[in-house]
Amino acid sequence: MAGLYDQDFYAWTQEQAALLKEGRLSVLDVEHLAEELEGMGKSERRELVNRLAVLLAHLLKWQHQPVRRGRSWRATITEQRYRVQERLEESPSLQHDMDDSMARAYRYAVLQAIRETGLAEDSFPDRCPYTLAQALAHDFWPD
């Protein structure tokens, strides 16, 4: 069974799903299943951090380059707010580590804002200037 995992991952997933549905638990590839489940959880968290980073980067750009504000930035901020909220609704336990997720996302957001604005790194605060509630509030637009 481990050979199938290494040779054809998709076929392995289908076989494992069939075995689970049939209740044939004794023949499951438990070690690889456990690894994949852990990976799925980490992937959910990475997706949340990525969405937060895009949102925070656009909030920084909105705040630090008011003359460049436009419909595109507004649409991106609104979309990311919805996507972050959906992630948190689908996996509420992700909220337990939100301080860490926001800090991680902010590091990436600053890098993106630097790259896209041309502003110096010291133009942006060392720590995220927005709370999660502010970042997700549809009526919050930093000035």
Domain contains 56: yes
Tell me, what's the pLDDT at 1?
55
Domain range enclosing 97: 42-136
Tell me, what's the pLDDT at 96?
93
Tell me, what's the pLDDT at 66?
96
Domain contains 22: no
Domain contains 7: no
Tell me, what's the pLDDT at 137?
98
Helix (H) / strand (E) element for 56: namely helix 30-64
> Measured at the alpha carbon of residue 72, what is the angle toward residues 66 and 78, in degrees to the nearest 5?
95
- From first to last of the 143 residues of the chain, give the pLDDT tens digit: 568 999 999 999 999 999 999 999 999 999 999 999 999 999 999 999 999 999 999 999 999 999 999 999 999 999 999 999 999 999 999 999 999 999 999 999 999 999 999 999 999 999 999 999 999 999 999 98
Q: What whole-number distance in Å separates Cα of residue 72 and Cα of residue 78? A: 10
Domain contains 129: yes
Domain contains 5: no
Domain contains 100: yes
Instruction: Find, among 36, 44, 3, 43, the residue nearest to 17 by Cα.
Output: 36
Helix, strand, coil share of the chain (percent; to 5): 80, 0, 20
- Domain count along the chain: 1
Residue 40, helix vs strand vs coil = helix
Tell me, what's the pLDDT at 3?
87
